[in-house]
Amino acid sequence: MSDAVTPDSAPRLDEGATEHTRRRYDLAAPVYDWMEWPVERGFYRPWREALWAEVDGPEVLEIGVGTGKNIPYYPENLNVTAIDLSPGMLDRARRVADRHPEKQVTLREMDAQTLDFEAETFDDVVATFVFCSVPDPVRGLREALRVTQARTHSGRLHLLEHVRASPSWLARLMDALDGPLHWCTGIHIDRRTVQNVEEAGWALDEVSSLSWGDVYRQIVAHKPSDGNP
């Protein structure tokens, strides 16, 4: 897992890793939806719809909007600010947003590791299959925590993620393949995202396995009102 990020001892942002991720997603943007069509149709769509039905808002940050696959599932009472590191992906998301004028969404190019928002700007933060790609996931999750309000019924983090598997043999295989796959795609397949969420300071509410081997999980957490989980 990544080193802890604090205002006094934050490690230097790895600009090379960040640029590598940006380039990989820009390169994939024209064919990204086509590449993911089988799993999107078979699995991701219902997971996205169920996740967004649980988001209260009204002010919501979506980290890693990608090509805009979540936009059709935004509840109409939400005001969503959706960011992405990749200009190529954002271009695709804008086309989806244009087809859904009933959705209240603002699209911005931004790095999850250095969010350009004031503290406690949003009621909820959502990300789907994103923290597998953020170069320093704990740093990004701490930034999400910083910009989220601490409230009794809100201040929540909603994630869909693919993570390091539970079966040891599969986890070892994912570890072995992670390096070359990350170089090719910008994606890590061996992330321990549940642990990263806790390390970043979020308090876990629920972790649900969505597939065999716990490879896909839904994670819900909240920002502690007293600063402690």
State the Cα–Cα distance between residues 72 and 74, nearest whole angstrom: 6
H/E segment holding residue 67: none
CA distance to 20, 81, 162, per residue, from 29 (Å) = 14, 20, 20
Cis peptide before 224 (omega within 30 of 0): no
Q: Shortest CA distance to 163 belongs to which of 107, 100, 208?
A: 208
pTM, rounded to two decimals = 0.91
What tens digit of pLDDT does each residue of 167-190 get?
999 999 999 999 999 999 999 999
Q: How confident is the model at residue 78 (pLDDT cuts 50, 70, 90)?
A: very high
pLDDT at residue 152 above 60?
Answer: no
- Contact between 113 and 141 under an 8 Å Cβ cutoff? The reply is no
pLDDT at residue 228 above 60?
Answer: no
- Contact between 90 and 65 under an 8 Å Cβ cutoff? The reply is yes
User: Exposed, middle or buried by CB within 10 Å (0-12, 13-18, 19+), for 227?
Assistant: exposed
Percent of the chain clearing pLDDT 90 (strictly above): 87
Q: Give the residue-averaged pLDDT of 87-99.
A: 98
